[in-house]
Amino acid sequence: MEIIGNPIPHIAVLMATYNGDKYLGEQLDSILTQRNVQVSIFIRDDNSTDHTRTVIDNYQQSNKNIFLLDTKSEQLNVTKNFFSILRDVDLSGIDYVAYSDQDDIWLDHKLEAAVDAIKNNQVSCYASNLQPGDANGKPIGSASLISKLFRYLLNYKSNRQTPWDHYFEAASAGCSLVLGKDAAFYMQNRLHQIYNHIPENASHDWSTYALTRIGGFTWFVDNNAYIIYRQHSGNAYGTNSGWKGVVKLLDLFRSGWYRRHIVMIDELYNDTDKHPSFMKLIGSYHASSFVSRVRVAFAISNFRRKPAHRILLFILVILGYFR
């Protein structure tokens, strides 16, 4: 079957599952009914203790395009699970690769919109915004004016990219990312080299953006949303909307997670001869030194894509939250 004069794109959807039986069926349905694309769904289950495997087995019986990869004996956690799938899957015959969470709902033109954006903007990779949803999958908005403001400042997706923005942020949530064939092959080859050295608590969306940007691949970041991003008590990450998003951001800074990721990007992901000058300042940074904080704040804050985020990063570093 072909769209007139244009073959239907074949998209590998990579799904990492863990104790997701409650919502998994609805998510699989939304992927299987995507318009004007051919999908193959590759799943690796991370030793679920609920009925996740039963749900997958039932869907496999009626859908020949769902493939369950072998389960590893050790617990992989989210990022290592996603990256193990991308590392192990045969990408021959695949045009694009997309990540999928186990509990969201995709609008039926989610993948079609991504492919169109990649082609129309002549880029290699795509990311989009998200529509938060409640535990029942119904879209939710921010009730108060303050919550709406926080959501806009944190979630508005800007396509503006700076030379080193991939050192400081992802393109968007992993479930919105779609990689073209060349970028996916590049990611796969790099993962074969570095997979064992990636920390378990690394961010797969940020890592994917960083690795592909370092590899010279271009992105389009879409402010439109094609995913109902279900919020519930079992979320691995959750949305950044509202005051809770600000609190979560502060926690990442205070724990040192954010700074460690910046260092990891340069030490593990950067296989080029180009190393940004700010890495020396970050390497010698001391949160207890006001002079050190000022130097780093001025050195790195301009690389975030959005003006509001640049101001916020500057303030957090000055106040000593950057650990």
Same domain as 97, residue 40: yes
96-100 and 105-106 strand pairing: unpaired
Which residue, of 189, 205, 239, is where some domain finishes? 239
State the CATH number of the domain containing residue 36: 3.90.550.10
Tokens at 215, concatenated: 């590899």
Which residue, of 204, 239, 274, is where some domain finishes? 239
pLDDT given for residue 1 in this prediction: 40
Same domain as 278, residue 203: no
Amino acid at 196: N
Which residue, of 206, 239, 272, is where some domain finishes? 239
**Residues 6+ positions from 257 with CB-CB distance below 8 Å:** 201
**Phi, psi angle pair for 83, to nearest 5°:** -70, -30
Amino acid at 305: R
pTM, 2 dp: 0.89
Same domain as 215, residue 82: yes
Number of domains in the chain: 2
Query: How far from chain centre, in Å, is Cα 288?
Result: 32
Same domain as 306, residue 177: no
Same domain as 295, residue 195: no
Tokens at 306, concatenated: 């959005």
Instruction: Give a yes or no: residue 250 inside a domain.
Output: no
Same domain as 286, residue 141: no
Which helix (H) or strand (E) is 282 found in, with range?
helix 278-283
Tokens at 26, concatenated: 């609805």
**Residues 6+ positions from 147 with CB-CB distance below 8 Å:** 241, 242, 243
96-100 and 10-17 strand pairing: parallel
Instruction: Give a yes or no: residue 173 inside a domain.
Output: yes
Contact criterion met (CB below 8 Å) for 46 and 80: no
Instruction: Give a yes or no: residue 123 inside a domain.
Output: yes
Instruction: Give a yes or no: residue 252 inside a domain.
Output: no
Tallying the residues shown for the chain, one arrives at 323
Same domain as 162, residue 49: yes
Same domain as 202, residue 270: no
Give me the domain span that covers residue 176.
2-239
Q: Where are the beta strands (DSSP E) in the chain?
A: 2-3, 6-7, 10-17, 38-45, 66-68, 96-100, 105-106, 125-133, 178-180, 219-230
Contact criterion met (CB below 8 Å) for 100 and 31: yes
Instruction: Give a yes or no: residue 234 inside a domain.
Output: yes
Same domain as 261, residue 211: no
Per-residue pLDDT of the chain (323 residues; tens, 9 = 90+): 444 456 899 999 999 999 999 999 999 999 999 999 999 999 999 999 999 999 999 999 999 999 999 998 888 999 999 999 999 999 999 999 999 999 999 999 999 999 999 999 999 999 999 988 877 777 776 554 444 444 555 555 566 788 899 999 999 999 999 999 999 999 999 999 999 999 989 999 999 999 999 999 999 999 999 999 887 555 555 455 555 666 777 888 889 999 999 999 999 999 988 899 999 999 999 999 999 999 999 999 999 988 888 998 999 999 999 99
Instruction: Give a yes or no: residue 99 inside a domain.
Output: yes
Instruction: Give a yes or no: residue 154 inside a domain.
Output: yes
Same domain as 301, residue 205: no
Same domain as 206, residue 172: yes
Contact criterion met (CB below 8 Å) for 23 and 138: no
pLDDT per residue over 11-56, tens digit each? Answer: 999 999 999 999 999 999 999 999 999 999 999 999 999 999 999 9
- Which has the closest alpha carbon to 271: 202, 213, 201, 185? 213
Same domain as 30, residue 136: yes
**Phi, psi angle pair for 163, to nearest 5°:** -55, -35
Instruction: Give a yes or no: residue 153 inside a domain.
Output: yes
